[in-house]
């Protein structure tokens, strides 16, 4: 990661800090793979496999057909603290039933109200 990067901190893979020499395969959409947004390593010459299906479908199919047994849910990512700010997100209305089970890192998450679209709006203080 660039020394000036501030959106992602303490990036790890399998518990170890990611180093500049570490290499990963990135599953992404055609916009990013085509060099959109200027992300390093997403130039068309870096593409390993080109797929006509949307990335969401590729991942869905892989999980359904691979010997993909989900492990324990690990909630080890979080937003960096930004006092006085919050993020607004919409989710299915059924999400409200799960608020009591949220991890401590989401303790400030509150339901704002049902939107005309049918989604339930939430606020999360950062």
Query: In Å, how far are 19, 24, 51, 76 from 13, measured between CA atoms?
Result: 10, 10, 26, 12
pLDDT, tens digit, for every residue of 14-49?
889 999 899 888 887 777 766 666 666 677 777 788
pLDDT, tens digit, for every residue of 65-115?
877 666 666 667 777 788 999 999 999 999 999 988 888 878 899 999 999
Q: What is the pTM of this model?
A: 0.51
Cα distance from N-terminal residue to C-terminal residue, the chain: 23
Q: Are the CB atoms for 13 and 24 separated by under 8 Å? A: yes
């Amino acid at each position: 990661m660039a020394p000036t990067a501030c959106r992602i901190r303490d990036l790890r893979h399998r518990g170890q800090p990611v180093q500049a020499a570490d290499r990963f395969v990135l599953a992404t959409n055609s916009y990013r793979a085509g060099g959109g947004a200027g992300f390093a390593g997403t130039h068309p010459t870096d593409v390993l496999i080109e797929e006509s299906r949307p990335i969401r479908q590729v991942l869905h199919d892989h999980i359904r057909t691979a010997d993909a047994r989900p492990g324990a849910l690990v909630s080890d990512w979080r937003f960096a603290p930004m006092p006085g700010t919050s993020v607004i997100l919409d989710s299915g209305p059924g999400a409200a039933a799960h608020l009591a089970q949220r991890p401590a890192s989401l303790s400030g998450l509150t339901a704002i109200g049902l939107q005309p679209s049918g989604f339930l709006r939430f606020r999360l203080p950062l």
